[in-house]
């Protein structure tokens, strides 16, 4: 399981029919995250099953 699957900002997009990050990032921020040495997203926010279910 990667970090995104438990993130608050990881949500299902019906248009693309897949899970995507709903955090509003620009190209520079995405590039910085993808090329960083530790591959840790600075915007990660823990969301367990209960907090994610309440959001729906």
Read off φ and ψ for residue 34, nearest 5 degrees: -70, -30
Residues spanned by the domain of 19: 3-55
Report the alpha-carbon distance of residue 26 to residue 31 in Å, rounded: 9
Q: How confident is the model at residue 50 (pLDDT cuts 50, 70, 90)?
A: low
Using DSSP, state whether 50 is helix, strand or coil.
Answer: helix
How many folded domains does the chain comprise? 1
Cβ contacts of 4 within 8 Å, gap of 6 or more: 10, 19, 21, 41
Query: pLDDT of 8-42, one tens digit each?
Result: 888 899 999 999 989 998 999 888 888 887 777 88
Q: Looking at the predicted structure, is the pLDDT value of residue 48 above 70?
A: no
């Amino acid at each position: 399981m990667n970090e995104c699957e438990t993130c608050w900002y990881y949500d299902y997009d019906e248009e693309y029919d897949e899970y995507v990050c709903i955090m509003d990032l620009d190209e520079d921020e995405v590039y910085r995250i993808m090329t960083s040495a530790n591959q840790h997203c600075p915007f990660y926010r823990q969301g367990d099953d209960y907090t994610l279910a309440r959001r729906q």
